[in-house]
């Protein structure tokens, strides 16, 4: 059974796609896909209970999807074209389909383990991507091909360990980095109490109370981060900023972060 948080995020995602019948059909198909749900749930079990990491399951993947949709919509409303549009090989809707798929499947490789999980995510996601696209675009091989290829680029590039080249993959990279509030660290902090190397990531994420994604003033996308303590800067500088710096969408992002009640730092 899906959690309240999962259902809330699904509602948020569908609302952001209400002007695109194809994207709505895509997310509804994936939200009702029992195999994908089981894979997301198991990935989270491995991540939290076996490995002691933060949430990498259905809530996280839905949150990344929601973040990416919002960012791509902001780019469109600012007159910025996606890579598929610039290259005149696909539409904005094709780009949106690719980031939806990548957002909902990028961490499936956590079912196997942390090392190389982005490559394992591609292997595990590929059959689901292919049958999903055959369902929504049965008579359009061209669109199925470009959407699948773009989604795979975004999945395999979400750790910034591999060079990516499209704006769409760059948006997934940033959207993934933006899911780092204390809710994501709550369960692992509760069940894994033995100190170990790497705990700084949990404590840092636990200090972050709010992340806002809005239209920017100097650049199209503005990311605002609020935290309860300065330990949160670790997560921003070591995770999010690293991802933005290696993203092809970096030029479209401004980033502010600070402790509640104080003047925020401007990183970008």
The last residue of a domain, from among 137, 153, 177: 177
The number of folded domains in the chain is: 2
Boundary residue ending a domain (148, 177, 206) = 177
CA distance 265 to 213: 16
Question: Which residues, other chains included, contact 127 with Cβ-Cβ below 8 Å and sequence gap of 6+?
Answer: none
Q: What is the pLDDT of residues 107-159, one digit of tens each?
A: 999 999 999 999 999 999 999 999 999 999 999 999 999 999 999 999 999 99
Examine the domain organization and report whether 63 and 188 are in the same domain.
Answer: no
Residues 141 and 205 in one domain: no
Residues 171 and 186 in one domain: no
Structure tokens at 181: 């509030």
State pTM to two decimals: 0.92
Distance of CA 107 to the CA centre of its chain: 9
Q: What pLDDT, in 10s, does the model give residues 40-54?
A: 999 999 999 999 888
Give the range of the structural domain holding residue 53, as residue numbers without chain letter. Answer: 4-177
Whether residue 99 contacts residue 168, with contact meaning beta carbons closer than 8 Å, is answered with: yes
Identify the sign of the CA torsion 184, 158, 155, 17: positive
Final residue in a domain of this structure, among 177, 194, 223: 177
The answer, yes or no, to whether residue 189 has pLDDT greater than 60, is no
């Amino acid at each position: 059974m899906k959690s309240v948080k999962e259902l809330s995020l699904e509602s948020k995602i569908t609302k952001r796609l209400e002007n695109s019948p194809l994207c709505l059909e895509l997310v509804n198909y994936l939200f009702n896909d029992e195999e994908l749900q089981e894979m997301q749930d198991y990935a989270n079990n491995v991540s939290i209970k076996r490995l002691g990491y933060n949430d990498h399951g259905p809530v996280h993947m839905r949150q990344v999807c929601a973040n990416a949709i919002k960012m791509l919509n902001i780019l469109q409303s600012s007159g910025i074209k996606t890579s598929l549009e610039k290259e005149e090989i696909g539409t904005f809707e094709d780009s949106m389909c690719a980031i939806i798929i990548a957002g909902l499947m990028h961490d499936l490789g956590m079912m196997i383990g942390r090392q190389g999980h982005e490559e394992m995510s591609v292997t595990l996601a590929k059959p689901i991507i292919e049958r999903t696209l055959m369902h929504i675009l049965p008579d359009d091989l061209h669109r199925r091909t470009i959407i699948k290829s773009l989604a795979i680029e975004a999945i395999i590039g979400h750790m910034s360990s591999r060079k990516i080249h499209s704006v769409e993959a760059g948006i997934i990279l940033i959207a993934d980095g933006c899911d780092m509030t204390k809710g994501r660290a709550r369960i692992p902090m509760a069940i894994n109490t033995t100190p170990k190397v790497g705990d700084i990531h949990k404590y840092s994420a636990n200090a972050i109370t709010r992340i806002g994604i809005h239209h920017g003033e100097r650049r199209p996308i503005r990311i605002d981060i609020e935290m309860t303590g300065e330990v949160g800067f670790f997560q921003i500088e070591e995770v999010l900023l690293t991802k933005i710096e290696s993203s092809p969408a970096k030029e479209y992002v401004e980033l502010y972060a600070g402790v509640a009640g104080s003047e925020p730092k401007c990183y970008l």
